[in-house]
Amino acid sequence: MSQSSAAPISGSAVEIPSIPFREILPWAIFFGLLAILGLFFISADQGAVSIPTGNAVHEWVHDSRHLLGYPCH
């Protein structure tokens, strides 16, 4: 069996692309807000002060609460 390796040709530099901060910022804000919303549903939502009324969200994320160590009983 022959083995081949992909080595750069000597003398050529590999250029690493850079992403401007202005392109990353909107995505960082979007995923940050999603993370805060997810943390609210998992940690703070007990059904009493719930965005959707009722206890459904608490039941949907019940196991996640135990996995992350939040008390809910």
Predicted pLDDT of residue 6 = 62
pTM, entire model: 0.51
Could you give the residue ranges of the DSSP H alpha helices within the chain?
21-39, 56-60, 62-68
Q: How far apart are CA 63 and CA 1, in angstroms?
A: 51
Structural domain boundaries of the chain? 39-73
Per-residue pLDDT of the chain (73 residues; tens, 9 = 90+): 566 666 656 667 888 888 888 999 999 999 999 999 888 777 775 655 556 666 677 677 777 778 878 776 6
Distance of CA 53 to CAs 16, 29, 58, 73, Å? 50, 27, 11, 20
Give the angle 12-16-20 at the CA atoms, nearest 5°. 145
Q: What does the block give as tokens for 28?
A: 């960082």
